[in-house]
Amino acid sequence: MLGLMQDEPLLISAIIEFAARHHGNAEVVSRRVEGDIHRTNYRQIASRSRQVANALDAKKIAFGDRVATLAWNGYRHLELYFGVSGSGRVLHTLNPRLHPEQIAWIVNHADDKVLCFDMTFLPIIKAIATKVPGVQHFVAMCDANVLPSDTGITGLVSYEQWLNEQSDHYTWPVFDEKSASSMCYTSGTTGHPKAALYSHRSTILHAYAAALPDSLNISARDSILPVVPMFHVNAWGIPYSAAMTGAKIVFPGPAMDGKSVFELIESEKVNFAAGVPTVWQMMLGHVHAENLKFSTLKRTVIGGSACPPAMINAFNDVYGVEVLHAWGMTEMSPLGTVCTLKNHHDALPAQDKLKIRLKQGRSIFGVDMKIVDEHGEELPWDGKSFGDLMVKGPWIISNYYNSDAASPLIDGWFPTGDVATIDADGYMQITDRSKDVIKSGGEWISSIDVENIAVAHPAVAMAACIGIKHPKWDERPIVIVVTKPGVALTREELLAFYEGKIAKWQVPDDVVFVESIPLGGTGKMQKTKLREQLAGYVLPNL
Ligand code: AMP
């Protein structure tokens, strides 16, 4: 027997129409590429999203065609999020931090028909325009009067002119909620990047789950700053959850340095911010150096790579800001777990609470997870056994887009490539990417543990731990360190700092000081590059 409820498909157009109708005056504030602060609201965003949809109709862009963006976080990008997907096209967010050759490869692989870009990225567009023959329209996300006439790019139009020619009346199409809505290519450290293709249904279910109280806890009372880019996994779904709840949203544009981010938090009364650890490292550095305080910021979600304890402590103890440690991946839309405490943790001493906060957290409803050994057997949730982390759920990938390879699923579960423990309370902790795990004398050493201790040292700005081949032990860990400006640190001092914090055999064999550690397009340390840089390195005492 079927239920007798209305058969309304879950479509992204409904989110922006809901926001316009119920939270029409809620603000959307952007620091623009032009440098100024721009203010709009959900009513106007909805209206301009409809103009985007009409513009795509006028250009005869077909249902399901890909419309790419190469853009910072800002209101025009938000309008494209809703206008492109809502009208049945697929929003393809490109990562501008990739090499132009790689961007061109991705555009061709996705078969993008339209490419909308912020003026910052005009040089990239000039470099790739002739290499992406499938792109029929280039749209510069700016006013008509700032568009140079001599770009040499055929079919180039300004976004504002593109919209001005269109009515803001539009009837959003109704179609199967399983239709594709947006796509994002994984950062892929080896081989070509691969695309996750999200659907309307997966995006809406994810947006609901992300807004839950034990998740990101998003409501109409919030002023949210997503520093996490809209060009990578839809800014963790925040644009959708914010519009769904009517939260004010504040976009940083291209200015992601500590000073600019701090100023925006203060001037826009931001109470919730989201970003990767490297962004917060820059902001905390600025706040500390200038002896500043946050007057409105109450919580921040940190994910993308492991959040070091020193950062959780600094936010919590010094600035009174709660850190929500979260984990996910492109293939998961991206949210999988968020670390919020349960009632029975209240009585714990601060040190024990910190141990839990360091974990990547509990599953949100919709994400099932398990850890398995090398034979695929499930391991116990005892907080000690570690194995390959597998996930399943309605916003987790079943296969990559336009891929010849077989589905990556194993018995319906997606292997994340992460190695983790899960404790009896369901808190998951990542010990490593499986390829970064260090195997020493038959035991595993967590590179994340080794890095976390190093960055807790007051002289260390950034640390990466990698395994180096060893004739007897198979591999031994070393730690590569960037020190804070003007602070002296010796190898011996840092190695002594490990004493009593981890087992002796887990202490790195050596410290290598470097000027900088290579970061990838999404702010993660690139250990493959580090390994290449250290190709001739020899362990001490060999
Ligand atoms: P991406 O698909 O680029 O978002 O990268 C996903 C990968 O980032 C995951 O599989 C993890 O290896 C890593 N990651 C994400 N969040 C965390 C976290 N909180 N702690 C440790 N690693 C993380």
Question: Is residue 265 in a domain?
Answer: no
pLDDT value for 150: 86
Atom 9 of ligand 1 has which residue's CA nearest to it?
Answer: 329
Distance in Å, CA 2 to ligand 1 centroid: 40
Tell me, using a 6 A CB cutoff, whether residue 416 lines ligand 1: yes
* Ligand 1 pocket, residue 418 CB under 6 Å: yes
Q: Which of 143, 170, 202 is the last residue of a domain?
A: 202
Nearest CA to ligand 1 atom 5: 329
**Beta strand 272-275 pairing with 248-251:** unpaired
Report if residue 303 sits inside a domain.
no
What is the distance in A from the centroid of ligand 1 to the CA of 363?
15
Classify residue 242: in a domain, yes or no.
Answer: no
DSSP β-ladder status, 223-226 and 248-251: parallel
Domain boundary among 202, 223, 258: 202
The pLDDT confidence band at residue 542, using thresholds 50, 70 and 90, is confident
For the chain, counts of helices (H) and of strands (E): 16, 25
Nearest CA to ligand 1 atom 15: 304
User: Does 541 map to a domain?
Assistant: no
Average pLDDT of span 381-405: 96
| Assigned domain for 409 exists | no
Choose the residue to mutate in 323, 524, 526 for probing ligand 1, maximizing ligand atoms within 8 Å of C-beta: 524
Q: Which residues participate in catalysis according to the annotation?
A: 186, 331, 439, 444
In sequence order, what DSSP letters do the residues of 168-195 get, joined into one string?
S--------TTSEEEEEE---SSSS--E
Beta carbon of 43 within 6 Å of any ligand 1 atom: no
Confidence of residue 391 (pLDDT cuts 50, 70, 90): very high
Mutate to test the pocket of ligand 1, among 190, 305, 400 (most ligand atoms within 8 A of CB): 305
Q: CA 27: distance to chain centroid?
A: 23
Task: Kindly give the pairing relationship between strand 335-339 and strand 322-328.
Answer: antiparallel
What is the CB neighbour count within 10 angstroms for residue 4? 5
How does pLDDT run across 411-429, given as a tens digit for each residue? 999 999 999 999 999 999 9
CB of 360 sitting under 6 A from ligand 1:
yes
According to the model, what pLDDT value does residue 22 have?
A: 98
Q: Which pair of tokens denotes residue 368?
A: 């099932």
Ligand 1 close to Cβ of residue 187 (< 6 A): yes
Q: 386 in a domain, yes or no?
A: no
The domain tally of the chain equals 2
What integer pLDDT is reported at residue 158 of this predicted model? Answer: 97
CA of 162 to the centre of ligand 1 (A): 37
Is the distance from the beta carbon of residue 338 to the nearest atom of ligand 1 less than 6 Å?
no
Cβ of 333 closer than 6 Å to ligand 1, yes or no, is no
Residue 24 falls inside a structural domain:
yes
Residue 196 in 3-state DSSP? strand
Q: In this predicted model, what pLDDT tens digit does every residue of 212-229 receive, in sequence order?
A: 999 999 999 999 999 999
Q: Is 433 in the pocket of ligand 1 (CB under 6 A)?
A: yes
Instruction: Find the 391 Cα to ligand 1 centroid distance in Å.
Output: 14
Asked if residue 312 is part of any domain, the answer here is no
pLDDT at 188 (0 to 100): 58
Which atom belonging to ligand 1 lies closest to the Cα atom of 522? 3
Q: Which atom from ligand 1 is nearest to the alpha carbon of 448?
A: 21
**229 touches ligand 1 (CB under 6 Å):** no
State the Cα–Cα distance between residues 446 and 465, nearest whole angstrom.
9
* Ligand 1 atom nearest to 520, measured from its CA: 3
Average pLDDT, the chain: 95
Q: What is the pLDDT of residue 189?
A: 56
Mutational test site, ligand 1, from 198, 234, 329, max ligand atoms within 8 Å of CB:
329
Q: Which of 155, 171, 202 is the endpoint of a domain? A: 202
pLDDT reading at 190 higher than 80: no
| Cβ atoms of residues 448 and 429 within 8 Å | no
Q: Is the CB of 422 under 6 A from ligand 1?
A: no
- With the C-alpha atoms ordered 447, 449, 450, 454, is the resulting torsion angle positive or negative? positive
DSSP code per residue over 7-39: -----HHHHHHHHHHHSTT-EEEEE-TTSSEEE
Element (H, E) at 341: none
Q: Residue 454 sits in a domain of what CATH number?
A: 3.30.300.30
Ligand 1 binding pocket includes 479 (Cβ within 6 Å): no
Q: Hey, what amino acid is at 287?
A: V
User: Does 303 sit in the ligand 1 pocket, CB within 6 Å?
Assistant: yes
Determine the distance separating the centroid of ligand 1 and the alpha carbon of 295, expressed in angstroms: 30
> In this structure, how many other beta carbons lie within 10 angstroms of the beta carbon of residue 385?
14
Residue partners of 275: CB distance under 8 A and separation at least 6:
226, 227, 228, 300, 302, 304
Which tens digits make up the pLDDT trace of 33-66?
988 999 999 999 999 999 999 999 999 999 999 9
Q: CATH no. for residue 150? A: 3.40.50.12780
Angle, alpha carbons 279-99-236 (nearest 5°): 40
- The closest-lying atom of ligand 1 relative to the alpha carbon of residue 303 is 19
- CA neighbours closer than 13 Å in the CB half-sphere of residue 3: 4
Q: Which domain holds residue 489?
A: 439-533
Give nearest CA residue, ligand 1 atom 20: 306
Beta carbons of 430 and 306 less than 8 angstroms apart: yes
104 membership: H or E segment, kind and range: helix 100-110
The DSSP code sequence of 317-370 is IIT--EEEEEEE-GGGSSEEEEE---GGGTTS-HHHHHHHHTS-BEEPTT-EEE
215, 273, 270, 211: which is closest to 243 by C-alpha? 211
Residue with tokens 């057997």: 377
Helix residue ranges, H only, 246-389: 258-267, 277-289, 309-313, 350-357
Predicted confidence (pLDDT) at residue 152 exceeds the cutoff of 60: yes
Give the distance (Å) from ligand 1 centre to CA of residue 22: 35
